């Protein structure tokens, strides 16, 4: 295929050739999807319905759960449908939508984690002015900026990815992943997307540095707290966020900083699943296990 106008769709990677394994793939992804959606919806419901959780930290956590549900909904149902119908096809517009929405939720997620670090910084390092600084209006402005940043980032990335004509409609991944799409490009226009990627790396490094420096100040402030109980309470609100941020950063770096093979192996597919599915799956567990208020809210919600 000489250019993108002649491409009506793409062929995704089929995780299995045998019908039995395709059904197994469908069932595995179905259980995974239901588990992720159920866990995050439980977090959202607990925060919305429990007035004890009507604070900035849990408002941000609710948005994180919404992002996690949106993230996995972008590609898992399509992969399940392809396995069930024994097909590899995705339409051109469907592929564009996958790239746009996946990057939207991923970028929003990273921006939100950065905002959550600032929230913890104000709460621990400047507790007397916390309610004044992190008021309702400020929280809404922060969330609006988070979602807008994610949208702008995804539009830039998607435009750069699909600006170049494609010589092939083969995508060696089970969803439309940007690195695999760039390999199918057949003109120098893909350099636009490479420029966006380089720019994104600098932004990512800036956010990472901000979070690291913020936690240096937080741990220094926690170290000065004399009460052991108060110190443990402060750490209990920080550790879940730090674990989630580390999970997102490590899985993304592991997936994207290594060379992308032309013919992905089972290990490469597993790595892709890890960075795209592991954070949304683990986030509800991490916040539920490490946060006493969230545990109590979920018990009241479930009636146990």
pLDDT at residue 262 is higher than 70: no
What whole-number distance in Å separates Cα of residue 126 and Cα of residue 205? Answer: 26
Instruction: Extract the runs of DSSP E, i.e. beta strands, from 140-240.
Output: none
From the list 57, 23, 25, 22, the residue with the least C-alpha distance to 43 is 57
Compute the mean pLDDT over every residue in the chain, rounded to the nearest whole number.
Answer: 85
Query: Tokens for 113?
Result: 């984690």
Domains, the chain, with CATH or none: 4-302 (1.20.1070.10)
Candidates 196, 3, 171, 208; CA nearest to 94 is: 171
Extract the tokens encoding 6.
């002649």
Q: Which residues contact 190 (CB under 8 A, 6 or more apart)?
A: 160, 163, 164, 182
Confidence of residue 258 (pLDDT cuts 50, 70, 90): low
Structure tokens at 35: 């588990």
pLDDT of 2: 43
Q: What's the confidence (pLDDT) of residue 4?
A: 44
pLDDT of 278: 84
17-26, 50-59, 281-290, 292-301: range with highest mean pLDDT:
50-59
Within 13 A of 215's CA, how many CA atoms are on the CB side? 20
Does the structure show a pLDDT above 80 at 14? no
Q: Each residue of 194-211: pLDDT tens digit?
A: 777 777 778 888 888 999
In degrees and rounded to multiples of 5, residue 10 shows phi and psi of -125, 160
Closest by CA position to 64, among listed 120, 106, 12: 106
- As a whole number, mean pLDDT of residues 221-231 equals 84
pLDDT of 157 > 70? The answer is yes
Task: Report pLDDT digits (tens) over 41-98.
Answer: 999 999 999 888 889 999 999 999 999 999 999 999 999 998 888 888 999 999 999 9
Return the beta strands (E) in 143-250 as ranges.
none
Rg, Å, the chain Cα set: 21
Between 271 and 81, name the one with better pLDDT: 81
Residue 249 has pLDDT above 50, yes or no: yes
Of the two residues 114 and 231, the one the predictor is more confident about is: 114
Quote helix, strand, coil % in the chain, to nearest 5.
80, 5, 20
Nearest-angstrom CA–CA distance, 85 and 17: 12
Backbone φ and ψ for 90, nearest 5 degrees, come out as -140, 135
The pLDDT value recorded for residue 3 is: 45
């Amino acid at each position: 295929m000489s250019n993108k106008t002649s491409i009506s769709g793409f062929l995704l990677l089929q995780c299995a050739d045998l019908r039995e394994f395709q059904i197994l793939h469908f069932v595995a992804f179905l259980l995974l999807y239901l588990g992720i959606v159920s866990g995050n919806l439980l977090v959202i419901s607990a925060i919305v319905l429990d007035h004890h959780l009507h604070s900035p930290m849990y408002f941000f956590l609710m948005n994180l759960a919404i992002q996690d549900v949106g993230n996995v909904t972008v590609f898992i149902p399509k992969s399940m449908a392809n396995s069930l119908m024994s097909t590899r096809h995705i339409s051109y517009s469907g592929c564009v939508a996958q790239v746009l929405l996946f990057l939207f939720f991923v970028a929003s997620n990273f921006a939100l984690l950065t905002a959550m670090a600032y929230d913890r910084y104000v709460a621990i390092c400047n507790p007397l002015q916390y309610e004044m600084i992190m008021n309702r209006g400020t929280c809404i402005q922060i969330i609006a900026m988070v979602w807008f940043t994610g949208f702008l980032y995804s539009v830039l990335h998607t435009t750069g990815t699909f600006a170049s004509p494609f010589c092939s409609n083969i995508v060696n991944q089970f969803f439309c992943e940007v690195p695999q799409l760039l390999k199918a490009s057949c003109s120098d226009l893909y350099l636009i997307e490479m420029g966006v990627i380089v720019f994104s790396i600098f932004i990512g490094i800036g956010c990472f540095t901000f979070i690291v420096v913020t936690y240096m100040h937080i741990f220094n402030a926690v170290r000065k707290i004399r009460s052991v109980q108060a110190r443990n309470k402060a750490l209990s609100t920080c550790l879940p966020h730090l674990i989630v941020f580390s999970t997102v950063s490590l899985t993304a770096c592991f997936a994207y900083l290594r060379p992308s093979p032309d013919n992905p192996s089972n290990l490469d597919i597993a790595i892709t699943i890890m960075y795209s599915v592991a954070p949304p799956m683990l986030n509800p567990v991490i916040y539920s296990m490490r946060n006493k208020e969230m545990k109590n809210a979920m018990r009241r919600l479930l009636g146990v």
